[in-house]
Amino acid sequence: MAKSRGISADIQSPRTKLLYLIYSASNSRIKADPGVKSSLCSALGYKSDGHFHYDWNYLMNAGMIEEKQGYYLATESGKKEFTLQSTASRSNLTMVVIGVAMIFFTLTLKLGLLPIESVLFFGVALILIGTLFFIISRRNKPALSSNAKALLKELNRR
């Protein structure tokens, strides 16, 4: 019986790291120069060229990466693999910005440099940003069939 890997192991797999490296590059693409694949293989710690090419072919056949106009690029399908991660990163960065803005507003209000209405504007901006993150998170949730939803309701009643 094969040992189950789990999501955490999949996220750290060489294949996911390969896709993420291309996704993270400028414009989600890298130049298809000679030796690039070999450099990727070494940089990502593949044990053999065979393992690397197996993962490369898997990503190409799955339509997650493609070679186009002299570049290897992450397709929309490949980019979607990191939607949850990028949304969480954006959310974390937003929290830091909010914290800095709150300190800034507190100091400027205390010193009388900003009118009190600026707090209203800041509150509206936070509501809009929160709504945007809520909409994005709903889109990233796995879609359950009506049968699965009914079963979930029944299981929650027990």
- Answer with the residue of higher pLDDT: 16 or 5: 16
Q: Is the pLDDT of residue 85 over 70?
A: yes
In the 3-class helix/strand/coil scheme, how is the chain assigned residue by residue? CCCCCHHHHHHCCHHHHHHHHHHHCHHHEEECCCCHHHHHHHHCCCCCHHHHHHHHHHHHHCCCEEEECCEEEECHHHHHCCHHHHHHHHHHHHHHHHHHHHHHHHHHHHCCCCCCHHHHHHHHHHHHHHHHHHHHHHHCCCCCCHHHHHHHHHHHHC
**Tokens 């789990």 label which residue?**
6
One of 3.40.50.10800, 3.30.70.1150, 1.10.15.40, 1.10.10.10 is the CATH number of 6-80, namely 1.10.10.10
CA angle 2, 43, 11 (to 5 degrees): 40
Residue-wise pLDDT tens digits, 24-71: 888 888 888 898 898 888 888 889 999 999 999 999 999 999 999 999
Q: For residue 66, list its beta bridge partners.
A: 73
Amino acid at 110: K
pLDDT tens digits, one per residue of 126-137: 889 888 878 877
Identity of the residue numbered 116: I
* pTM for this model (two decimals): 0.62
Q: What is the largest CA-CA distance in the chain?
A: 69
Mean residue pLDDT of the chain comes to: 84
Q: What six digits make up the tokens of 81?
A: 């693999």
Give me the pLDDT at residue 144, please.
Answer: 61
C-beta of residue 108 within 8 angstroms of C-beta of residue 114: yes
